[in-house]
Structure 1
Amino acid sequence: MMAKNPAIKGSWDEWEKAHFTPEEIAASDLRVELIGELIKARQERGITQQKLEALSGVKQPVIARLERGTTVPSVSTLLKLLAPLGMKLSIVPIDS
Structure 2
Amino acid sequence: MDNVKKISPAGESWSEYRKKHYTAEEIAENDLMVKLVGEIIKTRKEKHISQRELEDMTGVKQSVIARMESGKTDPQLSTILKLLVSMGKTLTIVPLELSEK
Q: Same fold (TM over 0.5)?
A: yes
Tell me the matched-pair count: 92
Which residue matches 1:14? 16
Q: Contact between 1:50 and 1:60, CA under 8 Å: does it hold in 2?
A: yes
**What are the residue-to-residue correspondences of 1:40-55 with 2, within 5 Å?**
40-55=42-57
TM-score by length of 1: 0.89
| Aligned partner of residue 65 in structure 1, secondary structure | helix
- One of 76, 79, 84 as aligned partner of 1:74: 76
| Aligned partner of residue 71 in structure 1, secondary structure | coil
Output one character per residue of 1:2-56: Cα deviation in whole Å (capped at 9) or x when no partner: xx7533x222111110011101111110110000000000000000000000111
- 2:9 aligned partner, one-letter code: P
Q: Matched residues, percent identical?
A: 53
For 1:30 and 1:21, the matched residues in 2 are separated by 14
- 1:58 aligned partner, one-letter code: V
For 2:70 and 2:53, the matched residues in 1 are separated by 18
TM-score by length of 2: 0.85
